[in-house]
Structure 1
Amino acid sequence: MAVLSRSALGGAVLAAFAFEAHAQQSEQQLQEVVVSASRAEQERFDAPAAVDVVQVDPFAQQSPLVNMSELLSGVPGLQVRERQNYAQDLQISVRGFGTRSTFGVRGVRILIDGIPATMPDGQGQAATASLASASRIEVLRGPLAQLYGNAAGGVVQVFSKDPPLQPQGELSLGAGSDGQRQYGFSLGGGSETLGAVLDVSQYATDGYRDHSAARRTTVNGKVVARPSADTTITGIFSSFDQPLSQDPLGLTRAAFMNDPRGVAPNALTFDTRKTISQSQLGVVVEHRLGAQDTLNARIYGGERQVFQTLGFAGGPTSAGGVIDLDRGYGGAGASWTHRQTVNGLPLQWTLGADFDTQSERRQGFDNAFGTPTTLRRDERGRARNRDLYAQVDWTFAPQWRLIGGVRSSEVRLEVDDDFIAPGNPDDSGRVKYRATSPVAGLLWNVSERVNLYANVGKGFETPTLAEAAYRAGGTGPNLDLEASTSVQGEIGARIKGERHALDLALFQSRSKNEIVPQQTVGGRSIFQNVDGVRRRGVEAAWRAEWDARWSSQLSYTWLDAQFRRAFGNAGGTVAAGNRLPGAAEHSLYGELQYRWNEKLSSALEMSASSRTWVNDVNSEAAPGYAVVNLRGGYRFDAGPAKMMLFGRIDNVFDRAYAGSVIVNDGNGRFYEPAPGRRLFVGLRTAF
């Protein structure tokens, strides 16, 4: 698949050499970061794909650390929309994959310490990651993400901090506009052979909009044991409790323009809200068989309970206006990595297998003004995946490196219908999806300062249990819905100097059987497959350390995501050339930081986005926007304790804009307003 012309590639190479010549005049070395994009630790500069790493220091971060959107705004190709609606979670999309999600995360795989936060059917939740205990977040984009399995338009990995080697503790307190309150603590300690760390944080808000209050508590525990020099055993426990999250629903354009703090009338009538409780336990073992071989294994399990009231009553033709969901999930995986040299150059290959399962009981009831009444839905859903994969990383010449891999996946969805009544027969059924996802890439180490790479791969995405729940013209699940497949390609350049670093990537993907909404009836969303979806674009990121005081960051994404073939849905005809909803064509982020001295620092942030279409027929769009934020922090000592006082002002100029959109909303309530100007201040203590 041609992604870039020869002339454009030649221009990129010439630009790389020109940038290198300029960079060699600099003096201060940019700090390198270690990542694991190809399942082995390496310098980020040498990663043969578009990958970004955000280092997280919970003590020093000048932010509440509640949502990933606080940390990932500067990653090109990644869109993280903080909805100001804790009943629906964040919206995360990578290169236009995942934009159709109205709740949860689809099209992007999320892993926390190597354990999936994405279920076998492809649906995940980002809110369960504890940022207060994180050490770094990696974002992998492009073809190599396909090696992580179903729904891997991209991969977001969160890695938690290891236990300290001596007793340590941290406390945090914060408060801000709209009744925001945050507090937490961390305790940890140990030795080289055994250590543990526990992080607890709580956040509450009255909400920017009416009827949008929320409260959540996150607990993350980690135990690391090293019984020998060759074996590391890591135990991980996490708990997420959100007993309150009111849902103000989206607004129509007229309501959004008239009163951004307003709430849809149905939200008050039916007391729309959600409660969530989730707990998980996992164990990861790494064992070196010798100098050349390493075994890695994981096993995990968890449970999740959700109770949600929706903005309608229900009725005989509906699935109900109240959802009650109980889910159990778990899995295991193992991989074997071998390292050797061929002609004095490194060769590494990995063989692995993943087995994951989810089982859920979903019931739907009529909604009598916020109270469940008549049962309308009662079913058991199951999803399982069995994957085998192989990957090779071979430096076959001093300046050339080959990356290749293949993943064989099988995903099964099953529905057992327990709600059998007149007009509603037994709709039990099952379906199996199989896919083979090959990827190949090439890295050219032009010099110590310039790397060029190219990748191509094939991926797939199954419908989730929620998307396959209903079919047109009858009751029961839509088991005729196909899995979407895509062919992706990218070329990129990574250039570094003493003070500057530049990343460039050009990408394109074409999808068949893309999963898109067909119609929504009585709260039931029905999906269909369409062909001819194309996503292409450019990503650029530049970082600079000008001197000991000044540093800057700039990232830009151009995303051209289109339906290339016309099709029909309940809203009318989607014309060829229409844009995918939820995906802005242009996104820009800039940051300028100044360190006044070793204790005091401040920064100016800017985020901008072009208009975002809200539905497939492109009849409406959220206007583009640009907002400016300010932040600052001051470190000082108080006896044996280290203190950090920080504050931030978001949306300094009090702009009114839609922070996120609800794509293809059947009621035309597409818009979720972002907050106006608001303040947050916090104090963190380490001892």
Structure 2
Amino acid sequence: MRPFLLFCLLPLTVWAQQPKADTTTLLEEVTVSSFHSTVRWKEAPAAVAVIGKDELQRYAPVSLVPVLNILPGARMEERSPGSYRLSVRGSLLRSPFGVRNVKVYWNQLPLTDGGGNTYLNLVDMNSITGATLLKGPAASMYGAGTGGVLLLNSNTAFSDRISDEAALAVTGGSFGQFQQRASWQHTGPGITSSLQQVHQQAAGYREQSAMRRDAISWQSAWKSQRNQLRALVFYTDLYYQTPGGLTLAQWEANPVQARPPAGALPGAVQQKAAIYNRTLFAGIQDELTISDILRLAAFVTGSRTGFSNPFITNYEKRNETNFSAGAHIGYHKKGPAGEFSWITGTEWLYNHSAIDNYGNKGGMSDTIQYRDRVHALQWSAFSQLSFGITRWELAAGLSINEQRFRYRRLENIQHEHKTTGIVAMPRFSVLYKVSGDLSLYATAAQGFSPPSLAELRPSDGNYYGDLKAEQGWNYELGFKGYLFNQRGTFDISAYYFRLRDAIVRRNSNTGAEYFVNAGGTIQKGTEARFGYRLPLNGKGWLQTINAWSSYAFQPYYFDDYRQGNADYSGNPLTGVPQQVIAAGLDLTMAKGFYFNISASLVSSLPLNDANDERAKAYQLLQAKAGYKTQLGTQELHVYAGADNLLDQRYSLGNDINAAGRRYYNAAAGRNFFAGISWSLKRARD
């Protein structure tokens, strides 16, 4: 396969130019904060992918979509500006929109609610400084889930000197894209605090696809000799229009049109289809170092969401109240026989949703249809032991989980109760340090993922209390580490995941969705990621070349899946491309100039369970160039770039199993952006 050869040859062509000896530009030692502990990346016995500042600055500062899509096994889609969804290793099967079956945390505070939903589009990417993705059910220490866990991080580091920094930035681009940011940060030896305001808007590249987001966030941390307290507060007012899916004929004739009327059903423009989301979130986390070997951490969060969704067939209004709390204690001791660690803790998530459905009369709520009240609760408790001796690291853990729902339609008196019962999920791992730079690991972990609130009570207005939780075992073998005098990195893994009672989306004739259990799936695959930094000893105009590439092979298929008289057993998994390749070069030049170029190749994918229609393969080419300069205490950054340079016609966010075969949501064609940022930093003793 020609793309696969490109993937293999890109880093190798750079490695071949390796200089003889230069230890001044080795790659920084990467550490990951996962499984409630901090370890070196190459010694984490799991499929862990890390995003740092280089990846975040490689693209336009308006969306996480291209950033997360360079990670093998991850797929982030955008049906229209602001309408994101995220899947890991095939979890998109049950996520027609939003984020399900992937838990998301920000600075170890859960953004996922007790109903299993995550509003990832509320987070502005400029508020974070890095992220860690834990893939598969090996992340079960974070509670229920088979897809994985995304840990967003914000750097709130302390400093010996007191300093204050103010920054302003503006970015503009094609299709009415505009973003304005302002921030202030105070740093000192005992306190750090930052405040950020962001306004973003876009006209959209389709009819009925405009968006606007206003967000303000505050982060702060305080520390004493043995205690560290962190706080996170943000408010986001998000609005984005939803143009709806198109049939293949409509997409080929005019990909920028919104969903047109069909028979008695009006179109997206007529119904003013859109999402309104106003959310206030607050959380606090405390870490106490009891002794050199014992540490205690706890958190509590609360949030309030007002959500409205004028849709083709109805107008839904939701008021959501969320609370979460958790604590864990960690013991770590080094001795002559090796290192011993023990972590145990618990997490509790609660959601109350008041859901009212009305008729939609031209974008205005009309006659009441349903009034529902739902209480959702998830709790988990976990414990993990690990022991390291010479070259070996052995770990075993267990988490117990339960989800409860209490549902009531206000016109009825009786409540519906649903519980998964208590489910135990074990995890085992072993890591062998082949050398100081290379590690080989194996894991076996059981995953458990109950249906989310949006699946039990979907947009068709019915309650599906008979939905079962997904469960399955994942087995994985990986090899990772550093090469070429620690200038290169690699991470290769192979896994086999068998899922039972897979949750799959269905659509009624009107387009309203509902979900069913669909037998099972076999999800086996291979993932690889390579990187190499080539230093040029500061001579000439070119200073550093950083080459990187990633590859995911995902031949997933349904196992024992029947729908009525149709037998879909053996069909490739809906919505999952079999191969995804990403590769790029980052060039650092003299006098503050830089240039980045990256390519993504995505194979075709089935759009329905019958596999009788597929989205075509596509190739994306992106580039960005910029200039940074330091002017005393000020820094100036000017940049410009382009996306989809090949002007590909593709759908980034297909509506899988859509009614009327309306699968396609056209992505933007060739588009450009440019921006400027300025900061002023003052330090004092």
| TM-score, normalization by structure 1 | 0.90
Map of 1:467 onto structure 2: 455
Give the aligned residue type for 2:227: T
Q: Distance in 2 between matches of 1:273 and 1:127?
A: 14
Q: Distance in 1 between matches of 2:459 and 2:351?
A: 22
Larger deviation, residues 539-548 vs 174-183: 539-548
Q: Distance in 1 between matches of 2:16 and 2:207?
A: 56
Map of 1:413 onto structure 2: 405
Measured at CA, do residues 42 and 574 of structure 1 come closer, stay the same or move farther in structure 2, by a change above 3 Å? same
Q: Distance in 2 between matches of 1:381 and 1:44?
A: 41
2:43 is the alignment partner of 1:46: yes
Q: Distance in 1 between matches of 2:169 and 2:459?
A: 49
Map of 1:83 onto structure 2: 79
Match among 552, 557, 561 for residue 562 of structure 1: 557
Match among 488, 506, 520 for residue 532 of structure 1: 520
Q: Distance in 1 between matches of 2:336 and 2:589?
A: 51
Structure 1 residues 296-335: aligned runs within 5 Å: 296-312=297-313, 321-335=314-328
Q: Distance in 2 between matches of 1:174 and 1:73?
A: 22
Q: Is the Cα contact below 8 Å between 2:135 and 2:149 reproduced in 1? A: yes
Residues 542-588 of structure 1, C-alpha deviation per residue, up to 9 Å, x if partnerless?
Answer: 1011224211100000001110213106xx72421112211110000
Measured at CA, do residues 459 and 22 of structure 1 come closer, stay the same or move farther in structure 2, by a change above 3 Å? farther
Match among 120, 134, 138 for residue 132 of structure 2: 138
Map of 2:57 onto structure 1: 61
Q: Secondary structure at the match of 1:99?
A: helix
Map of 2:660 onto structure 1: 667
| Residue 57 (structure 1) shift | 6.9
Q: Is the Cα contact below 8 Å between 2:146 and 2:471 reproduced in 1? A: no
Map of 2:647 onto structure 1: 654
| Residue 22 (structure 1) shift | 12
Give the aligned residue type for 1:65: P
2:199 is the alignment partner of 1:202: yes
Structure 1 residues 321-470: aligned runs within 5 Å: 321-395=314-388, 397-420=389-412, 428-433=415-420, 434-469=422-457
Q: Is the Cα contact below 8 Å between 1:92 and 1:99 reproduced in 2? A: no
Give the aligned residue type for 1:553: W
Q: Distance in 2 between matches of 1:481 and 1:143?
A: 20
Give the aligned residue type for 2:247: T
Give the aligned residue type for 1:469: R
Q: How many residues align?
A: 645
Q: Distance in 1 between matches of 2:274 and 2:229?
A: 40
Q: Distance in 1 between matches of 2:315 and 2:88?
A: 31
| Residue 62 (structure 1) shift | 4.7
Map of 1:286 onto structure 2: 287
Q: Distance in 2 between matches of 1:526 and 1:679?
A: 38
Q: Secondary structure at the match of 1:144?
A: helix
Measured at CA, do residues 300 and 386 of structure 1 come closer, stay the same or move farther in structure 2, by a change above 3 Å? same
Q: Distance in 1 between matches of 2:673 and 2:458?
A: 43
Match among 605, 622, 639 for residue 598 of structure 2: 605
Match among 84, 108, 112 for residue 106 of structure 2: 112
Map of 2:9 onto structure 1: none
Give the aligned residue type for 2:293: Q
Measured at CA, do residues 568 and 121 of structure 1 come closer, stay the same or move farther in structure 2, by a change above 3 Å? same
Give the aligned residue type for 1:501: T
Residues 447-474 of structure 1, C-alpha deviation per residue, up to 9 Å, x if partnerless?
Answer: 01210000001011111122112699xx
Map of 1:276 onto structure 2: 277
| Residue 427 (structure 1) shift | 6.5
Q: Distance in 1 between matches of 2:628 and 2:216?
A: 26
2:514 is the alignment partner of 1:542: no
2:505 is the alignment partner of 1:517: yes
2:575 is the alignment partner of 1:575: no
- Percent identity between the two aligned chains: 24
Give the aligned residue type for 1:264: R
Larger deviation, residues 282-291 vs 264-273: 264-273
2:467 is the alignment partner of 1:481: yes
Q: Distance in 2 between matches of 1:470 and 1:143?
A: 25
Q: Distance in 1 between matches of 2:122 and 2:567?
A: 36
Q: Distance in 2 between matches of 1:520 and 1:597?
A: 59
Map of 2:222 onto structure 1: 225
Measured at CA, do residues 504 and 465 of structure 1 come closer, stay the same or move farther in structure 2, by a change above 3 Å? same
| TM-score, normalization by structure 2 | 0.91
Q: Is the Cα contact below 8 Å between 1:662 and 1:672 reproduced in 2? A: yes
| Residue 483 (structure 1) shift | 0.6
Match among 254, 259, 278 for residue 259 of structure 1: 254
Residues 232-289 of structure 1, C-alpha deviation per residue, up to 9 Å, x if partnerless?
Answer: 01111011111x3111111111111121211112111211111110111111000010
Q: Distance in 1 between matches of 2:574 and 2:49?
A: 25
Q: Distance in 2 between matches of 1:282 and 1:682?
A: 32
Gaps of 5+ in 2: 1-14, 261-266, 537-543, 681-685
Q: Distance in 2 between matches of 1:259 and 1:184?
A: 35
Measured at CA, do residues 575 and 57 of structure 1 come closer, stay the same or move farther in structure 2, by a change above 3 Å? closer
Map of 1:13 onto structure 2: none
Q: Distance in 2 between matches of 1:43 and 1:669?
A: 46
Structure 1 residues 631-646: aligned runs within 5 Å: 631-638=624-631, 640-646=633-639
Q: Distance in 1 between matches of 2:358 and 2:446?
A: 41
Q: Is the Cα contact below 8 Å between 1:100 and 1:582 reproduced in 2? A: no
Q: Distance in 1 between matches of 2:236 and 2:456?
A: 27
Q: Secondary structure at the match of 2:42?
A: helix
Q: Secondary structure at the match of 1:298?
A: strand
Q: Is the Cα contact below 8 Å between 1:427 and 1:476 reproduced in 2? A: no
| Residue 519 (structure 1) shift | 4.7
Gaps of 5+ in 1: 1-19, 313-320, 421-425
Measured at CA, do residues 295 and 22 of structure 1 come closer, stay the same or move farther in structure 2, by a change above 3 Å? farther
Q: Distance in 1 between matches of 2:146 and 2:196?
A: 29
Q: Distance in 2 between matches of 1:100 and 1:482?
A: 13
Q: Distance in 1 between matches of 2:127 and 2:327?
A: 25
Q: Distance in 2 between matches of 1:446 and 1:612?
A: 38
Map of 1:246 onto structure 2: 241
Q: Is the Cα contact below 8 Å between 1:23 and 1:496 reproduced in 2? A: no
Q: Distance in 2 between matches of 1:594 and 1:671?
A: 36
Q: Distance in 2 between matches of 1:618 and 1:35?
A: 39
Measured at CA, do residues 625 and 523 of structure 1 come closer, stay the same or move farther in structure 2, by a change above 3 Å? closer
Q: Is the Cα contact below 8 Å between 2:371 and 2:411 reproduced in 1? A: yes
2:103 is the alignment partner of 1:103: no
Match among 635, 660, 673 for residue 680 of structure 1: 673
Q: Secondary structure at the match of 1:145?
A: helix
Q: Distance in 2 between matches of 1:660 and 1:629?
A: 19
Map of 1:157 onto structure 2: 151
Give the aligned residue type for 1:44: W
Larger deviation, residues 116-125 vs 502-511: 116-125
Q: Is the Cα contact below 8 Å between 2:509 and 2:660 reproduced in 1? A: no
| Residue 169 (structure 1) shift | 1.3
